[in-house]
Structure 1
Amino acid sequence: MRLDKFICHHTGISRVEAKRVLRQGLVTHNDEVIKDPSFKVNDDTNIEFNGRSYGPVKPRYFMLNKLANTLCSTIDEEYPSVLSDMDLPHTKGLHIAGRLDVDTTGLVLITDDGQWSHQITSPKKQCMKRYRVWLAEPLAPDAEERFKEGVQLHSELELTKPALLNRITNTEVQLSISEGKYHQVKRMFGAIDNKVVQLHREKIGDITLDPELGEGEWRALTEQEINSVWQK
């Protein structure tokens, strides 16, 4: 990581301001003044600035129980961002690992580790996501088999990948898919002449939404949860 970015991350000041304090000789590394904004900060770097010592930047990983009518974005737009209620000192580098529609609730993973989130979002990784789905009409008797074989989505040339459908009642199901096409769950049920009225994500890979988290609440991931993504 560049030194100017490192300073921004730890202090919240702008990149322009970080470069200014560097030019003024206010930042040291191992008691040596560093003025170069592009100076590389390593895992063992210790930077001193404004009377404080800052260690290396460590990646951050969180789970959030997403509310309906919030946006999987880092900024507020038509709807508030999911980050709005997260009391974190610096959110600029954070991003969503697997977005949800504005009206969908449940598990959202948030990180500033791009390689980690790639393990979740890359189609090649086929990371499974499990949803709880409530339907407008009773489920067709052959729905499980049709989802297992793959369904034809409107405007798509190929069938969806095999999906696991678990019937709870005729209008409530669990669905596990390994893809992340646009509005995929809603479109899959539309392909079998049904309609999703409520959608909630319960699980991503081996990470399950913490039942202790209320709507809009969040917590840091455990080491086990973080490492589970790399073990796929």
Structure 2
Amino acid sequence: MPIRTDINDRIGEVILDHPPVNALDSTLWNALPGIIAEIGSREDVRCVLIRAEGRGFCGGVDIKEMQAHPERIVALNRGNYLTFKAVRDCPVPVVVAAHGFVIGGGIGICGAADTVIASDDCYFSLPEIDRGAMGGASHLSRMLPLHTVRAAFFTGGRITAQDAWRLGGVEKLVPRDQLHAEARAFAAVIASKSRTALVLAKQALNGLEPRDVDHGYRFEQGFTLEMYMHADSQASRDAFVHDNKTAQF
């Protein structure tokens, strides 16, 4: 299954397992919000852990789908928006265990979460400017300083997990082979608390944020749609698919 769940010791895991790079198509992005909402609403769950199998955490959207079916952009945008909103609105805290690469939509998941634990081989990237798209800065701005986000956005470059940790966007940096265990240990501390206290704390912390990240992302999506309607956008996707047949990152 591309997305599966597991519940154990009051921790609900949502696991991405969609080879080769956990790049999700519009159908999967639209399925993910319901999965997150359902597991987070269970009374026997006090912390949600989102992690992935394979080479990296998330390769973002399926560029090949968008290249072949640009008319699906609205469905894709909706799935992205609802996924990130489901993470942020999840009744209990959400921890992300990120490894390998966190690209595009993967940034949205991490940026909407409450805490990110990353492996030391991980990097974060918003390559949208080279893919004929926009989006992601609203959520990355919850993790990292403004100018770091802008530099990454304009260049399509990478931010290493080490730099993200140094700048405060990653709570803990661990060896790759210890990521799952370390993330579960961190989640277990949260899961040992009162569910009622966690739910109220999550609501309070969300309400204290200086800006509405969901509104910010919706604003970005307007420019994403505008970009998708431009000839340069289709040309960028065509070039990406042609030059990256095996979707190497």
Relative to the length of structure 1, the TM-score reads: 0.25
Structure showing the higher strand proportion among its residues: 1
Structure with higher Rg: it is 1
Normalising by structure 2, we get a TM-score of: 0.23
More helix per residue: 2
